[in-house]
Amino acid sequence: MNIRRALACWLLIMTAESVNGTLRRLFLLPAVGELRAHQAGVAIGCAIVFSVTWLFTARTGPSSRPRPFLTGALWVVLTILFEIGLGMIFGYFRERMLADYDLSKGGVMGIGLLFMLLAPFLATRRRVQ
C-alpha cells in the first residue's frame, strides 16, 4: 500500500472509529458502564480496522512483508498522536489517557493498537489465500 492509500485508509478508519466512539457513548455506555463500553468499543474497532484495511488492499494485491508492517506502524503512530490530541482537547489528564492502555485496569487499547499494527499484514495475507 503506498503512502497516499495508507493515509486515506487511516483517515477512513479514524472516521469510522469516531462514529463508533460516539455511538458507544450514546447507547452502550449508559447500559454497561465506562469500562465495558470501552472494551466493547475496542473489539468493534478491531473489526472496523480489519474491514476497512481489507477493502483498501483489494486492489493492491500481495505485498512484500515489510510494507504491510510499515503501514501498520504508521497507523499506530498516527493513532497515538490522534488520541493524545483528542485527550488534550477534551481536557483529559495523562493518567486518564494512560488507563486506556493499562491491562491491569481493564484497558485494552494496547491490544487494539497491536491489532492495527498487524491489520495490513493480515488483510493482505487473507487476500492471497
* Cβ–Cβ < 8 Å for 59, 72: no
pLDDT computed for residue 41 by the predictor: 94
- Other C-beta atoms within 10 Å of 119: how many? 26
Tell me what the pLDDT averaged over the chain comes to: 89
Query: 69-113, pLDDT tens digit by residue?
Result: 999 999 999 999 999 998 999 898 888 888 888 998 888 999 999
Q: What does pTM read for this prediction?
A: 0.87
Band (31; pLDDT cuts 50, 70, 90): very high
| Dihedrals phi, psi of 33, to nearest 5 degrees | 95, 165
Residue 21 is inside which H or E element, if any? helix 3-23
pLDDT computed for residue 97 by the predictor: 84
Which three cell numbers mark 47?
473489526
pLDDT computed for residue 107 by the predictor: 86
